[in-house]
Amino acid sequence: RTRWDDMLFNEGVFNHLSHMVPVALAQLALPLVPGLPVDLVTVGRNVLTAYMVLLAAMAGSAALSASHLIYLSSEDRESVRPVKSYVQLAKIVLFLISGVLIVSVLIERSPLLLLSGLGAMTAVLLLVFKDTLLSLVASVQIASNDMVRVGDWIEMPQLSADGDVIDIALHTVKVQNWDKTITTIPTHRLISDSFRNWRGMSESGGRRIKRSLLIDLASVRFLDPDQIERLQKLSLLAPYLADKQRELAQWNAGVSAEAPENGRRLTNLGTFRAYAYRYIQAHPGVRADMTRLVRALDPGPQGQPVEIYCFTNTTNWAEHERIKGDIFDHLIATLPSFGLRLYQQPSGGDLQAWLPSEARPDHNADGHATASGEGEHR
């Protein structure tokens, strides 16, 4: 069932049109009033005609608003483009024309005469409507290139905007940030400045995970046979270790065995990377048709970064964070099985461990250790 008639009624189109009927009757009846001077009748009819033009403009403006609502209620939501700026521009043009007609009726002069006088005011008009013209050009480019739609998540750090677009008008674009504040952006800034639109992420159906584990470089070492045998019990690693051992055996066949460093050997870090990659391959929350990487980045003062790069199979924020948390919780808990440690800046108990025993806060004045929660109360 269509609702276009309801929208026309709610916007007041019929209300404005209904007011035109008594005005028209008053125009017809005014000359019939006995005793009225001709000049007064002329002025009265001019005023009523100007009021008719104003009512027609208001009805047209309401009809444009209703048309915009009808367009937004289209069933095909994906194809809806931001047209509010065009509606607002049409209203401005409508009221400008109505204003010229009203003035021409009141002073009983041709509208063309008034328009010819506006030519000398072109520079002033351009200055007055500078922002409107800039916004109009920007609105045309935004709509034609489909750069932004209502509902898009955009990010514009230079204007402190990071959230969903809730309104696109002729002069401004409103963005509701994630903290529920509203940022108002001049429409032309979306053309002159750069911004990030996350619509592509939403339409792709996958959301990126790009996070690193910082491995303590002091914990990186070669695997001994016992460790390899233990890691072969992991179902995700068994095929990898079998293939890798065959590859290394062939490589090392012609290498001197006087020093272990002459040949290639399995390391706990490389084996962990292989395990992490196979883990995200097998994870049901990770998309198989998008990029999946586990890579070693450049080492630095905070250790060796091992980056996990993949995409979850959902764009829902909460579900994405749950999947990401599950992956990293598992990998962090698995690190000790490979003899690896996460890098962590020393603090608290780490710093206390470097102090002489008598200087530690858990020792009393006699130099004896005091258990937590014990002491004077015993």
pLDDT in tens, 280-301: 999 999 999 999 999 999 999 9
What integer pLDDT is reported at residue 322 of this predicted model?
Answer: 97
Comparison of pLDDT for 3 and 245, the residue scoring more: 245
Mean pLDDT of 193-218: 93
Range from 26-30, 48-52, 87-91, 349-353 that averages highest in pLDDT: 48-52
Residue 187, pLDDT > 70, answer: yes
Instruction: Name the strands in the sheet holding 153-156, side by side, starting at the edge strand that comes first in the sequence.
Output: 182-186, 172-177, 161-168, 153-156, 196-197
> How far is residue 123's CA from residue 117's CA, in Å, rounded to a whole number?
13
What integer pLDDT is reported at residue 367 of this predicted model?
Answer: 47
User: Is residue 306 within 8 Å of residue 272, measured between CB atoms?
Assistant: yes
Comparison of pLDDT for 3 and 177, the residue scoring more: 177
Parallel, antiparallel or unpaired: strands 182-186 and 172-177: antiparallel
Paired strand residues for 208:
311
- Residue whose C-alpha is closest to residue 23's, from 58, 69, 62: 58
Residue 145, pLDDT > 90, answer: no
Q: Cβ neighbours of residue 89 under 8 Å, at least 6 residues apart?
A: 132, 136, 139, 170
Comparison of pLDDT for 112 and 196, the residue scoring more: 196
What integer pLDDT is reported at residue 339 of this predicted model?
Answer: 94
3-state class of 377 per DSSP?
coil
CATH pick for 153-198 out of 2.20.28, 2.30.30, 2.40.50, 1.20.144: 2.30.30
What integer pLDDT is reported at residue 1 of this predicted model?
Answer: 47
Residue 130 dihedral angles phi and psi, to the nearest 5°: -60, -50
User: Is residue 330 within 8 Å of residue 279, measured between CB atoms?
Assistant: yes
Token code pair at residue 214: 């910082």
What integer pLDDT is reported at residue 80 of this predicted model?
Answer: 61
Residue 204, pLDDT > 50, answer: yes
> How far is residue 184's CA from residue 161's CA, in Å, rounded to a whole number?
8
User: Is residue 213 within 8 Å of residue 328, measured between CB atoms?
Assistant: yes
pLDDT tier, 251 (very low <50, low <70, confident <90, very high otherwise)? confident
pLDDT (tens digit, 9 = 90+) per residue, 89-111? 788 889 888 988 888 888 888 88
> How far is residue 303's CA from residue 307's CA, in Å, rounded to a whole number?
12
Mean pLDDT of 218-241: 93
Residue 378, pLDDT > 70, answer: no
**What long-range pairs does 126-134 form, CB within 8 A, spacing at least 24?**
131/171, 131/186, 131/188, 132/89, 132/92, 132/170, 132/171, 134/187, 134/188
What integer pLDDT is reported at residue 161 of this predicted model?
Answer: 95
What integer pLDDT is reported at residue 375 of this predicted model?
Answer: 39
DSSP 308: E
What integer pLDDT is reported at residue 216 of this predicted model?
Answer: 94
Comparison of pLDDT for 73 and 53, the residue scoring more: 53
Mean pLDDT of 308-326: 95
What integer pLDDT is reported at residue 362 of this predicted model?
Answer: 60
Residue 377, pLDDT > 90, answer: no
What integer pLDDT is reported at residue 238 of this predicted model?
Answer: 93
DSSP 303: B
Lowest mean pLDDT among 55-69, 205-219, 246-260: 246-260
User: Is residue 311 within 8 Å of residue 286, measured between CB atoms?
Assistant: yes
| Average pLDDT taken over every residue of the chain | 84
> How far is residue 203's CA from residue 210's CA, in Å, rounded to a whole number?
19
Lowest mean pLDDT among 229-233, 336-340, 371-375: 371-375
Residue 363, pLDDT > 70, answer: no
Mean pLDDT of 46-72: 88
Comparison of pLDDT for 258 and 180, the residue scoring more: 180
What integer pLDDT is reported at residue 69 of this predicted model?
Answer: 82
